[in-house]
Structure 1
Amino acid sequence: MDIKNYPLLRVNYNRLEVNNNKYIFHVPSSSVFELSKSSDEVLSKLENNEELTLEDKEILKEFMSLNLVGNQFREKPVKVEKFPAKALVLNVTSGCNLSCTYCYKEDLTSLKNSGNMSFEMAKDAINLFFKESPDLKNYSITFFGGEPLSNLPLIKQIIEYANEFFGSKSLNIGYAMTTNGTLLTKDIIEYMYKNRVDLTISIDGPKALHDKTRVFENGKGTYQSVVKNLSTLLSVYKDRIVPARVTLTRGVADVLEIWNHLKNELGFKEIGFAPVTSGENEFFNLTSQEQAKVFDEFKILGEHYIENAIKGKLNGFSNIHRTIMDIHEGRKKRLPCGAGVGLLSVSYKGDIDLCHRFTGSDFQSFGSVEEGLDKKSLSKFLENRANEKDSDCQSCRARYLCAGGCYHENYIKNKSPEIKGHQYCDTLREWIDFVTVAYIKIRENNPDFFDKFLTNKGVENETF
């Protein structure tokens, strides 16, 4: 058999070896397949331009069905005509009682000068939200700011209204909030718990690290104020997960130290890290040495995740858990996230933004609560991004798990969210390889782990 008739599509797979077993990560489906001895031999022949035999024909057909051999399948152009948002972000205030030095929010103000969303604006936003997504069973509202708890009276009004609005239609509504934790009281915590508000706490580690950047307006560190409220929060939310969200900036990059403090000393069950690599203020961006250190320590935590998963436990390292979930479900993304499709963000003024990160920025809004969603403009933006034929991305093995990276990071880095960022592609590919191997190890040793801990069942495999 002439191998020239069967061109190998190397861009559609990546070889991996775990415990002397051969696997491929199948890029088009974000799935993992184990290679039999004969399949491995045929693939090696194709890779080395060696002659195929008639006995190789059946395996070759399998490779062709997986688009590993033959002509590259052309992706169908994406048409975005509906916007079935499941999540609504309400930026209830621009005011914050903190003055975190790395904050990306361009509309951020002090509490004294804060702009607050009105109850009428919030009601109209919820009505618009439902109008655009009338056929779902589950909806969620996220309260954002500023510090959202600085506008607690509005939050309570919104929850009362939304409970009645969705409840009268026999639909489910849930709530979420990320807070700096300084304004929490026992009464507030109990109210949030009673009303099913999932809370995430922004905290950057031990006092010495946290207080470098997360400070009050007078420059005083906020660590003690957060920790003072944390024990009450975790005791009330004892049957729910309260994640810690850590922002890694220059000088605050000791992942293992931060993990140990938050997990073992403060008692968080889930921790996620957000490395800052393309912030507008270069002073806070991680150095190349720090980025390498962060990645090395991510892998150490990843090994810990694997060990726990094989024992049937979840260690709470959310950075690896999300990608494990994507691989297990064969997630195929043409867009990096649900911004503009699965999620709508409304500013306190009523502007509809691509996501909460763009609120207050110079980037365009896509309509308003008063005038409605600008579907034509939003469709054009999303379709341009989803259908972009970028040669670097099209040949990348992580292309359907990354989809070009965060819109806002690209906006900061390249002055446009439509230009895909390439600031840490090599690191991301290496991380995807690490997570794929982790997935294989868990699948081979404890397949029940996925049914127990991967909870996104029923989510569409392809996100445009």
Structure 2
Amino acid sequence: MIHQYKSHGYNIVMDVNSSAVHVVDDVVYDMIPVYEKQEDKEAIFASLDSYPREELEAAYEEITRLKNEGMLYTEDIYQKYMTDFKKRKTVVKALCLHIAHDCNLACKYCFAEEGEYHGRRALMSLEVGKKALDFLVANSGNRRNLEVDFFGGEPLMNWDVVKELVKYGRSLEKEHNKLFRFTLTTNGVLLNDEVMEFCNKEMSNVVLSLDGRKEVNDKMRPFRNGKGSYDLIVPKFQKFAESRNQTNYYVRGTFTRNNLDFSKDVLHYADLGFKQMSMEPVVASPEDDYAIREEDLPRILEEYDKLADAYLEYRKAGKGFNFFHFNIDLTQSPCVAKRLSGCGSGTEYLAVTPWGDFYPCHQFVGQEEFLLGNVYDGIVKQDICDEFKQCNVYAKPACQNCFAKYYCSGGCNANAYNFTGSITGSYDVGCKMQQKRIECAIMIKAALADMEEETGASADVAGEISHVC
């Protein structure tokens, strides 16, 4: 499968099955689709007779070389292994601990209903948390590295239990030959020096929730009395990011129909001094006034192009930052299983409620049809786990002819279910945004490679993109 597109002055060709990416000149770009369908060399040249013969000969030679080297028109080598892939033994390697089904903000788009998750307000007890960590250790097989995310609601509303669970997890490591990677997601309201110090010692990553500009954030992320949260949390987040040497954190926002000019919010992060950031599209019911709609897509896709331009300009000016969706690995990592099946929800990754129930991930919590078991009895509905285990890019019809499938790994199962009623469905609006982000990310790789060549500075992209002229 070949995907071609033009972006910011670059002609980019992706060989989807091999993950090879090429920046090419006009004649190669125009010849590639003809070459694939036409075997006769002279017929190919006849269809491109606006180019000089010598350019056509050179392009034909380069395309033939790339094909022979397995970098163009390659076959799908993964589908034939899917039977074995589905039978592979999986282990639990990550838990999302809902340490608090309660929150001190009233974010308008919150899928967790201010932390309640279609249920009741509750805080996880230390007993339940320990049982969850015991379950993770017992069901992780030979895997050494385990991940636990403290999530909510707002986890800092149950801070003492967070600290005790970290302590308990560390006590299990040596005996069981495990290494816990703890992470935390917070709205920052209760963030203080003691929390920062502890997180800097124990949390591998911290997600800081902020929607960008003050007027945008305060419209969607107010306190329950309607007052905005921006002025309280931004200074704390700035201090925290600096205390972590601008690494191992993300400022994470959500854009809605109210701020389709979200590139300004990302740049606002950068202007505040943040170096690690993410901005996610809201996922909401179509009847919500802030929900993203199909008709919004042209503007959103244009906004990603604007952000890509600004990203490169900030980089050139020495003010570079890391935008999560512009990170892309063109060297065929991560592993095949990850590329085919994504986050591992319902199999390798589970969410745990404050009272100890298991769900496939945090976005399924409260949907009783996806209740898998609990920390006391373990997994009692293995059939649901088996269904998730078989959820991969080959099980999703919309993925079959999509160039992005090995980068997005089939997308979010929860979004697929919520919009189509099936975890093998596809959230089409989300897919189109993901495709655009991937195209921008690859273009940025090409631009950074050119910057590296011009300046001699390392952009860490050597060998990832071939230039064919």
How many equivalent residue pairs? 435
Partner residue, 1:141: 148
Contact 1:24 1:35 in 2 (8 A): yes
Aligned-residue CA RMSD (Å): 3.6
User: Which deviations, in whole Å up to 9, do the C-alpha atoms of 1:367-397 show, x marking residues without a partner?
Assistant: 2211223573244312442275555421222
Partner residue, 1:24: 13
Name the CA distance, whole Å, in 2 between partners of 1:90 and 1:105. 14
Measured at CA, do residues 234 and 71 of structure 1 come closer, stay the same or move farther in structure 2, by a change above 3 Å? closer
Partner residue, 1:419: 425
Q: Secondary structure, in 3 states, of the residue corresponding to 1:340?
A: coil
Partner residue, 2:51: none
Measured at CA, do residues 237 and 281 of structure 1 come closer, stay the same or move farther in structure 2, by a change above 3 Å? farther
Measured at CA, do residues 394 and 158 of structure 1 come closer, stay the same or move farther in structure 2, by a change above 3 Å? same
Q: Secondary structure, in 3 states, of the residue corresponding to 1:440?
A: helix
| Match 2:243 to one of 233, 236, 241 | 236
| Match 1:449 to one of 444, 451, 459 | 459
Identity %: 25
Name the CA distance, whole Å, in 2 between partners of 1:168 and 1:32. 45
Measured at CA, do residues 243 and 236 of structure 1 come closer, stay the same or move farther in structure 2, by a change above 3 Å? same
Q: TM-score, normalised by structure 1?
A: 0.81
Name the CA distance, whole Å, in 2 between partners of 1:289 and 1:144. 33
Partner residue, 1:361: 367
Q: Which moved more, 1:416-425 or 1:67-76?
A: 67-76
| Match 2:304 to one of 258, 274, 298 | 298
Q: How many Å apart are 1:437 and its aligned residue?
A: 2.5
Name the CA distance, whole Å, in 2 between partners of 1:307 and 1:84. 43
Partner residue, 2:198: 191
Name the CA distance, whole Å, in 2 between partners of 1:405 and 1:148. 26
Q: Secondary structure, in 3 states, of the residue corresponding to 1:334?
A: helix
Q: How many Å apart are 1:365 and its aligned residue?
A: 2.2
Partner residue, 1:120: 127
Contact 1:278 1:413 in 2 (8 A): no
| Match 2:80 to one of 68, 75, 84 | 75
The AA in structure 2 aligned to 1:129 is L
| Match 1:347 to one of 345, 353, 359 | 353
Measured at CA, do residues 33 and 240 of structure 1 come closer, stay the same or move farther in structure 2, by a change above 3 Å? closer
The AA in structure 2 aligned to 1:433 is E
Structure 2: unaligned runs, 5 residues or longer: 43-56, 465-469
User: Which deviations, in whole Å up to 9, do the C-alpha atoms of 1:45-71 show, x marking residues without a partner?
Assistant: 534525148x98993894595682789
The AA in structure 2 aligned to 1:49 is Q
Measured at CA, do residues 416 and 278 of structure 1 come closer, stay the same or move farther in structure 2, by a change above 3 Å? farther
Contact 2:448 2:461 in 1 (8 A): no
Q: Secondary structure, in 3 states, of the residue corresponding to 2:391?
A: helix
Q: How many Å apart are 1:214 and its aligned residue?
A: 0.9
Q: Which moved more, 1:345-354 or 1:436-445?
A: 436-445
Measured at CA, do residues 167 and 299 of structure 1 come closer, stay the same or move farther in structure 2, by a change above 3 Å? farther
TM alignment of 1:392-407, pairs within 5 A: 392-407=398-413
Name the CA distance, whole Å, in 2 between partners of 1:441 and 1:198. 29
Measured at CA, do residues 138 and 310 of structure 1 come closer, stay the same or move farther in structure 2, by a change above 3 Å? farther
Measured at CA, do residues 147 and 408 of structure 1 come closer, stay the same or move farther in structure 2, by a change above 3 Å? same
Q: How many Å apart are 1:362 and its aligned residue?
A: 3.7
Name the CA distance, whole Å, in 2 between partners of 1:18 and 1:101. 35
Partner residue, 2:257: 250
User: Which deviations, in whole Å up to 9, do the C-alpha atoms of 1:401-430 show, x marking residues without a partner?
Assistant: 234321121222123323222234444434
Name the CA distance, whole Å, in 1 between partners of 2:316 and 2:214. 34
Structure 1: unaligned runs, 5 residues or longer: 1-11, 455-464
